[in-house]
Structure 1
Amino acid sequence: MAQTGFCDSRPLLDLHKKAEDKRVPLRTWANACPPKERRAQVEEFTSMGTFLNPDQDHRWVHGLHIPAGDGFMDYSIPIAPRSSDCGEEPLLWRISGLQHMLVPGLLRHEMELAMSRLGLIYDRTYAWDIFTNMMRSQIQHPFASAELPGAYSEKTLAILIDWLIQVHEVLHFSEETLYLTVYLLNRAVRLLNVSISNLQLLGVVCLFLAGKKEECLLPEVSELCHLMENTYTPHQLLRMERRVLCGLKFELSYIPPLHFLLLSTSIARCSDQMVWMARYLLELSLLKAQCVVYQPIHLAGAALQLARCVLQEPPTPEGETAWCISSSIFVGSEATLLAIMRILAQAAARAPIGNTRASFLKFSTKETLHVSKHMALMTAPCLLKVPGLPN
């Protein structure tokens, strides 16, 4: 958060509240902001402390040469070749081909307006520098493969993340904390040799570290142990915290896809329902191990595109123009976005009947416009021609 200056997204997108009910959106550098507004727990869940042990085609668009007079900052960073599930070449991170779509200064102007509307900056002068830094930072520590170590399964990790989502809601943490928690967890399980019996402890430690980076108020270590029904002692938790920090080399920075989603929905002038639907679909990506190989900007773009497909809101000339500008920041191939959309569509169709329902319940409330219960989500895989789904 220190890198981008972004704040808690929850009050930013509480569009149903009156202006006077919203707290000041910026989280000041000196942590001088008032304590977070506590709200009622969305869903009660039982046995919170118990963790269940369950049984291209297109190439990346390479950046074109942009003259210095265009006002764009080149943020390309060469990446060493690596194998991935996508089978695609590494991306040279710069805004590619925008001069073919719009006046170069238009996106910069819209980015400044979006960050100002969201309360993310004090001075518009730094808006493009912040976005440039986001594009650079998101490619740190890429995942070479979605494969998990032999001791883990995708189902086991998904159940743990689902439980962490529930704990995150009970603690009233910001959405950035949740995304950082899952990111740290995905890195830790691949870098550290942690047994299945200590997997829940590892998840809570990742939540604790993310909270230290993002939150103003934190629970006591003893409270975290109580959430795990005192299966682990405070001493064990602190030892695991040191182990994770050393294993990750104290590199905890992360640009979550939620930030790109916030910017793109603001630029595209999306409706409240569109914003909540995209947020729901994006959170479902946390439960899918296949999504770790994709960059945050691609996850955000796919979630927003799928939300637009599902809701089918009537187009307007102004809306289509804003959408064109917003979609231009999603650098990558159509095949990549379509692959992510298919994963999210399957997850959304199965969410009501699966074992991991925390996100479904979280976004089924009046506050979130009941987007997870939208009937079109059940047929979303059919829109993308995804085979093998139950009717």
Structure 2
Amino acid sequence: MADEEIVAVTEYVEDMMAFHKRTEIACNIPSYYHVGRAVLIDEVVESHNDIGFFPETLYRTVDLIDRFLAVQELDQYELELVGMSALFIAAKYEEIRDHSSKMYQLSETAYSVKQVVEMEWIILDTLKFDLWHPTPYVFMKSFLKVAQSNKKVEHMSFFIL
């Protein structure tokens, strides 16, 4: 058996996708969003790119923001803080490398470290520390692998997603 096959563990793919689908259905969020959500997501994408995070971190961040906004009412000032704090939480969950110095440099112009940490706690408490939900990234990555797509198709798919 080749090393690639050992890492892929293909016999579990169907079970894993079934689990992702069940979990996705169980954690649907309401379709209403905060008025400033689009601007917030643009800012999060820019920060995500400036720091150089993995794509998974961006999808996890948007998931955290959406789930939090579905149950919490905020003003515009707090909304930006939620975006930054959700990005920090997602980075701690998804990233391998420590980017904390870059992250705090990015946030220190608008918020103190204390404010970011307090908002992280509020988000985590509101979401009952339930950080894992399948994001669109999980499904797209699986589909692209099955489709044996090239890099151009992969980049376009994630751009549209």
Per the shorter chain, which TM-score range? 0.7 to 0.9
Aligned partner of 2:18 in structure 1 is: 132
2:122 matches 1:237: no
1:78-157 equivalences in 2 (<5 Å): 121=8, 123-144=9-30, 146-148=31-33, 152-153=34-35, 156-157=36-37
The answer (yes or no) to whether the contact 1:174–1:215 under 8 Å persists in 2 is yes
Matches of residues 199-218 of structure 1 in structure 2 within 5 Å? 199-218=79-98
Q: Residues 207 and 120 of structure 1: is their aligned pair in 2 closer, same or farther, counting only changes over 3 Å?
A: farther
Please tell me the residue identity of whatever aligns with 1:239: E
CA positional deviation for 1:249? 0.6
Uncovered stretches (5+) of structure 1, i.e. residues with no partner: 1-115, 283-391
Query: Over residues 80-116 of structure 1, what are the superposed CA-to-partner deviations in whole Å (9 max), with x where a residue is unaligned?
Result: xxxxxxxxxxxxxxxxxxxxxxxxxxxxxxxxxxxx6
What secondary structure sits across from 1:143 in the alignment?
Answer: coil
Structure 1 runs of 4+ aligned residues shifted over 4 Å read none
**Residues 185-264 of structure 1 correspond to what in structure 2 (within 5 A)?**
185-220=65-100, 223-264=102-143
| Residues 1-391 of structure 1: pairs in structure 2 closer than 5 A | 121=8, 123-144=9-30, 146-148=31-33, 152-153=34-35, 156-220=36-100, 223-282=102-161
What percentage of residue pairs aligned between the two structures are identical?
A: 28
Residues 145-164 of structure 1, C-alpha deviation per residue, up to 9 Å, x if partnerless? Answer: x222xxx41xx211211111
Pair 1:223–1:264, CA change in 2 (3 A): closer
Quote the Cα distance in structure 1 between the aligned partners of 2:12 and 2:149.
Answer: 24
Which residue of structure 2 aligns with residue 325 of structure 1?
A: none
**SS across alignment from 2:15:** helix
What stretches of structure 2 of length at least 5 have no aligned partner?
A: none
- TM-score, length-normalised on structure 1? 0.38
Give the conservation status (yes or no) of the 8 Å contact 1:225–1:231: no
Q: Is the 8 A contact 2:56 2:137 kept in 1?
A: yes
Task: Return the alpha-carbon distance in structure 2 between the equivalents of residues 225 and 194 of structure 1.
Answer: 23
Letter in 1 for 2:122: R
Distance 1:219 1:272 in 2: 27
Write the letter of the residue equivalent to 1:199. Answer: L
What is the aligned-residue RMSD (CA, Å)?
A: 2.1
Greater share of helix: 2
Which residue in 2 is equivalent to 1:72? none
* Contact residue 27 and residue 133 of structure 2 kept, 8 A: no
Cα distance in 1, alignment partners of residues 66 and 119 from structure 2: 15
Task: Work out the number of aligned pairs and report it.
Answer: 158
